Amino acid sequence: MDLIPQRLLSHARTRPAAPAYFTRVSGRWQSTSWSVFVDECRAAARALMALGFPAGGKIAILGYNKPEWVIAYHAAMLAGGAAAGVYTTSSPDDVAHIVLHSEAALVVVETRAQYEKVPASTKTIVTMRGAETIDDPRVLPWKQFLAKGALTTDTDLDARIAALAAGDVATLIYTSGTTGPPKGVMLSHASLAWSARVFVDLGKGTDRDTGLSYLPLSHIAEQMATIHLPTTIGAPVYYCESIDKVRANVPEVRPTVFFGVPRVWEKFHAALVGRFAALPAVRQQLVAWTRGVCTQVNAHRMRGESPSLALSARNTPSRSAWC
């Protein structure tokens, strides 16, 4: 079966030493291999099962984009269940609504502030790496949570994975709640796997691509960009330090694939326009000419046409830098 969990596990066999994700530690980007990443996901899945997580169970995740967010998400799927992402800006009432409506057996949080939004009825709360110590018997720090995985065998986990069906719920996507209580949408394994494959085929994605994770992972678009597309092609993901560091992280990472909402592109455009305006006149003319060529080339591509030989010849010297 070719679902997201199977694609994830395959990379531990086919590219074990290749980087699966990068985080910035002490001023440097440090990589984690696919082999280690898959081990983390399996350990988290076994930990969920040790805590009583049933097939078809749900968890909720509340925090900014970090490896632990994605590990918990994959773990829920591997264990036969699904995760519900929660916007970090959600009010305590909205968090309680999502946790209770999704019937989440466990909630993963990033910070104390997010922990304080979790309803008192939640029996188990897991804090991500780097979170401050919280004196609450319901709270399991990330390391202790993963250690619970030793109580479940790989054989038991593999049985859960083997029992996955294409029509099973793989994720719950909740609206932001701006016009009323957040509403949940159930997406199946088949839906996620098919959508990811189509996006990859349309964009001709490969394992040489890289992406930057920075938009809310509670939204299906960022889940596709950070989780499902990279898992489908075996490409690494860089986790942005914070939403305020996007501008600093982009030139460091130089992602080959970048997903952005209109406001992000507007900010990029404004910054570039300002820089171009400060260039000498000759360089401004060169930039304008290059943009004109690229606009024509991409207009042909978007219509499914091949650019003319003359246009292709004009585009060739600048393709890697501009188009």
Tell me the pLDDT tens digit for each residue of 234-291. 999 999 999 999 989 999 999 999 988 888 889 888 888 888 889 999 998 988 888 8
At 322 the pLDDT is 39
| Per-residue confidence band for 321, with pLDDT thresholds at 50, 70 and 90 | very low
Higher pLDDT, 121 or 180: 121
pLDDT tens track for 35-49:
999 999 999 999 999
Does residue 224 share a domain with residue 133? Answer: yes
Whether 261 is covered by a domain: the verdict is no
Asked whether the predicted pLDDT for residue 25 surpasses 90, the reply is yes
Nearest-10 crossing angle of helices 246-253, 262-277: 70
Domain that holds residue 307: 279-322
Cα–Cα distance, 53 to 59 (Å, whole number): 9
Does residue 154 share a domain with residue 104? Answer: yes
The proportion of the chain whose per-residue pLDDT surpasses 70, expressed as a percent, equals: 96
Does residue 229 share a domain with residue 85? Answer: yes
Query: Which uninterrupted H or E stretch holds 155?
Result: helix 154-162
At 144 the pLDDT is 97
Question: Do residues 58 and 81 make contact, with C-beta atoms less than 8 angstroms apart?
Answer: yes
Residue 317: partners with Cβ closer than 8 Å, 6 or more residues away: none
Whether 308 is covered by a domain: the verdict is yes
Whether 270 is covered by a domain: the verdict is no
Cα–Cα distance, 13 to 171 (Å, whole number): 25
Does residue 192 share a domain with residue 150? Answer: yes
Domain total in the chain = 2
- The DSSP symbol for 40 reads H
Does residue 247 share a domain with residue 311? Answer: no
pLDDT tens track for 64-112:
999 999 999 999 999 999 999 999 999 999 999 999 999 999 999 999 9
Does residue 302 share a domain with residue 161? Answer: no
Overall pTM > 0.85: yes
Does residue 181 share a domain with residue 297? Answer: no
Strands 58-62 and 104-109: parallel
Whether 135 is covered by a domain: the verdict is yes
Does residue 131 share a domain with residue 26? Answer: yes
